[in-house]
Structure 1
Amino acid sequence: MKTISRCVALCIGLLSISIASAEDDCKEITTSMQVNQCAEIARKSADLKLNASYKKLMERFESQQRRDPQQGELFKTMARDSQRAWIKLRDTNCPLEATDIEPGVGVSVVVINTCIARMSLERSTYLDGIAPDEFGVSCPSTDFNAFLTAFAESAAVQRAFVQRPLQFVTTVDAEPEPRIEKRALEDKQIKYPLMPHRAYREAEGLTLSVKGQSRNRATAILNKPDTDYLVEYRFVLGKCWMLSEVSDFAI
């Protein structure tokens, strides 16, 4: 009985950490029935977080290795093999923590579920630290209007969500008439911010608006009414919106 009591006390302490964001009923655990229910909730919640972290890691491998898809697939295979081996380790490890409790007793299940929740959260944190986003910036939104607002306000977001090379189109003053010049800019050639923030636009009388949008393409324009100032930004949607081309039509 003392062993069971110690396990219950320990589980309550661990559960308070494992299910900090779980159901309201588990914020204060006072009965043995709550311990059983909340241990299961903690396990399921941690499992969902683990699955999300694993999925994001696979997406990072895919996006960061766009120029070398074969390498990306190799990394993803390594991650799959590692995850399968780790799950087997977790699922054989956790029953060891309940070996001093009579099998089939409710507390035994609680101990195992609590162990699984703890290990899953630790694994999730571990996966989140592998191949972090190059610029440490996550996708603001796949809704283009929300994305555009965040993109305009942050040079860091712009750096993270610009395709390389960036296509840059300018209008060059020439004879007998202006001509269009198109260049492919690499990282060192791109000057930020590519799009001015709201305070600057208001001070300069510039207007940013969405010109057109389809399922996976969108165009924003920056212009100054009653002048020839016009810049067009073209975006494509993959895992997130990415700026693919800038066209400066002002002479």
Structure 2
Amino acid sequence: MKAMAWMVLLAAVSGAHAAEEESTPCDNVETDQQTYACAAFSKQAAERELQAAYDDLIQRVRDQYADQGSQVSALVGQLDAAQKLWAQLRDADCKVETFAEKKGSKAFQAAWDTCVAQRSDDRSEYLQSIGQQ
């Protein structure tokens, strides 16, 4: 029952990632092993997207404030600090979410990967919205 709940959750989380690529480990998830592979894939894809969103934001800041060097430096410093704090909050939230799973187990890793993927997707959307005109 627990594995089935994870598969449903993973299918919802990974749907956007699967649409972007032709074939992923999240296609036709039917077994626990496939669930674990999908969770790992989703986390990696979400972290890549998060890094791209962050890099794009830094570039937007540099472009928008190109003639104001000190403001760029200050804002980039604030963004770096915010990103580090966000990562700490994400990890703390995911520790709470995965508390019921035995650390070191495949179920724990799948739950952790799913949590990180969800939080990273949310953060990517937020970063993409900053500085848009």
TM range (shorter): 0.7 to 0.9
CA–CA separation in structure 1 for the residues paired with 2:102 and 2:66: 53
Counterpart residue type for residue 14 of structure 2? S
| Ranges in structure 1 where 5+ consecutive residues have no aligned partner | 135-251
Q: What's the counterpart of residue 100 of structure 1?
A: 100
| 1:78 and 2:78 aligned | yes
AA aligned to 1:117 is A
- How far does residue 16 in structure 1 lie from its aligned partner after superposition? 3.4
In the other structure, the counterpart of 1:29 is 29
Q: For residue 52 of structure 1, report the CA deviation from its aligned partner.
A: 0.4
Say whether the 8 Å CA contact 1:50–1:121 is kept in structure 2.
yes
Q: 1:17 Cα deviation (Å)?
A: 2.7
Letter in 2 for 1:120: S
Structure 1 residue 95, shift from structure 2 partner: 2.1
Larger radius of gyration: 1
CA distance in 2, matches of 1:87, 1:116: 10
Query: What does 1:110-189 align with in structure 2 at a 5 Å threshold?
Result: 110-132=110-132, 134=133
Aligned partner (choices 6, 9, 28) of residue 8 of structure 1: 6
Unpaired stretches in structure 2, ≥5 consecutive residues: none
8 Å contact 1:11–1:111 — kept in the other structure? no
**Any idea what the Cα deviations from partners look like across 1:1-46, whole Å, max 9, x if unmatched?**
x5x3354244333343353235434222111111111111100100
Correspondent of 1:19 among 17, 20, 28:
17
In 2, Cα distance between the equivalents of 1:18 and 1:101? 26
Percent identity of equivalent pairs: 24
* Cα displacement string for residues 185-233 of structure 1 (whole angstroms, at most 9, x for unaligned residues): xxxxxxxxxxxxxxxxxxxxxxxxxxxxxxxxxxxxxxxxxxxxxxxxx
Aligned equivalents of 2:26, 2:50: Cα separation in 1: 20
Higher relative contact order (CA 8 A, sep 6+): 2
Matches for 1:200-219 after TM superposition, within 5 Å? none
For residues 37 and 102 of structure 1, the distance between their equivalents in structure 2, rounded to whole angstroms, comes to 18
Structure with bigger helix share is: 2
Which whole-Å deviations, capped at 9, do the CAs of 1:38-68 have from their partners, x for residues lacking one? 1111001000000000001111111111121
Query: Which structure shows the bigger proportion of residues in strand conformation?
Result: 1
Checking the alignment, whether the CA contact within 8 Å between 1:102 and 1:108 is kept in structure 2 is yes
Contact 2:42/2:117 (<8 A) preserved: yes
Q: Is the 8 A contact 2:14 2:42 kept in 1?
A: no
Query: In structure 2, what is the Cα distance between the partners aligned to 1:25 and 1:17?
Result: 11
CA contact (8 A) 1:16 1:27 kept: no
Structure 1 residue ranges, 4+ long, deviating more than 6 angstroms after superposition: none
TM-score after normalising by structure 1: 0.48
> Aligned in 2, Cα 1:101/1:6: closer, same or farther, shift over 3 Å?
farther
Size of the alignment, in residue pairs? 131
